[in-house]
Amino acid sequence: MELSNFALAFFTGLMSSFGHCLGMCGGIVAIYSARQSAALPAGTKNSFWNKVLSLLPVHLGRISTYAIFGALVGLAGSLLDKVGGFLGWQGAFSVLVGLAMLLVSLSLLGILPPVETALMSLMGGRSPLARMRGLFGKNSFFSSLAVGLLWGLLPCGLVFAMLVVAVRTHTSWGGAMTMLAFGLGTIPTLLGFGLAANLISPKLRGGLQNVAAVLIMLFGIQTILRGLAIAGLIQSLSIGQVMLW
């Protein structure tokens, strides 16, 4: 279960970074990179690798926020699983998690409204982006780390989807590692300032995002079927040593 979660999270981050992540966060990377370059001391060698190194702390902060949230939802999933086992609600909990994954996948496919809209309404319009802007021009490790920590708080449908996946691990460690895998998957595009994505057509980028959404949908269906099997409503299914649900 955990290995499949990690693989799903990593490949979702990798594929969606060319479409969804680039559209949502590409501007942040570009503006932050430009201001970091302008803040470099006179005479500093502004090579490509210096630019990459200057952005590593911001991605460390971003992924740290993801991992912290992953650990929290993983712990919550563990507690709910224990309570569900005690009350006989484990199957219902799995079905609810699977339904949440289906809703997010339909949002990513454009069938339902964007999840970001609902998340922004829950935040009351108070986005961490305003605080991030005040740190963009500061050229220090801790300011870059702070930008990344705030970046991880921005409303994002994919992050929400991966948090739902992290709940499935039922452990703090599994939840944190799931979100870490997702964050690592997004790095190639975002760390490259969108250069790799510019080589891919918008149509293909959208296709990659749709593939990620379908993966989330399939895992959601699997989670629902597993919940129904736990509840005794359907039979479990295994292929060899692999239990599908």
Model confidence pLDDT, tens digit, residues 97-118 = 888 888 888 887 888 887 767 6
Residues facing residue 239 across a β-bridge: 242
Residue with the larger pLDDT of the pair 238 and 184: 184
**Number of domains composing the chain:** 1
- Flag whether 9 is in a domain: yes
| Helix, strand and coil in the chain, % to nearest 5 | 75, 0, 25
Residue-wise pLDDT tens digits, 26-76: 667 766 766 666 665 555 555 666 667 777 888 899 999 999 999 999 998
Q: With 0.75 as the threshold, say if the pTM is over it.
A: no
**pLDDT given for residue 126 in this prediction:** 62
Is 156 or 206 the better-scoring residue by pLDDT? Answer: 156
Distance, in Å, from the CA atom of 56 to the CA atom of 145, rounded to the nearest integer, reads: 9
Residue 239 lies in a domain: no
Q: At 5, is the pLDDT very low, low, confident or very high (cuts 50, 70, 90)? A: confident
* Residue 135 within any structural domain of the chain: yes
**What is the domain extent for residue 92?**
2-37+48-233
Can you tell me whether residue 128 is helix, strand or coil?
coil
Does the residue 204 lie in any domain?
A: yes
Q: Taking the alpha carbons of 151, 166, 3, 217 in that order, is the dihedral positive or negative?
A: negative
Q: Which amino acid is at 45?
A: K
Q: What is the pLDDT of residue 174?
A: 92
Residue 115 lies in a domain: yes
Higher pLDDT, 42 or 85: 85
Count CB neighbours of 122 within 10 A.
9
What string of DSSP letters covers 18-58?
A: IIIIHHHHHHHHHHHHHHHHHHSPTT----HHHHHHHHHHH
Higher pLDDT, 216 or 201: 216
Q: Indicate whether 238 belongs to any domain.
A: no
Tell me the percentage of the chain whose pLDDT exceeds 90.
Answer: 13
180 domain residue, yes or no? yes
217 versus 126: the higher-pLDDT residue is 217
Predicted local distance difference test score (pLDDT) of residue 85:
65
* Residue 42 lies inside a defined structural domain of this protein: no
* Beta carbons within 8 Å of 50's beta carbon, 6+ residues apart: 40, 44
Please name which of 191, 172, 150, 159 lies closest in space to residue 9, comparing C-alpha atoms. Answer: 159
Spatial separation of the C-alpha atoms in residues 84 and 91, rounded to whole Å: 8
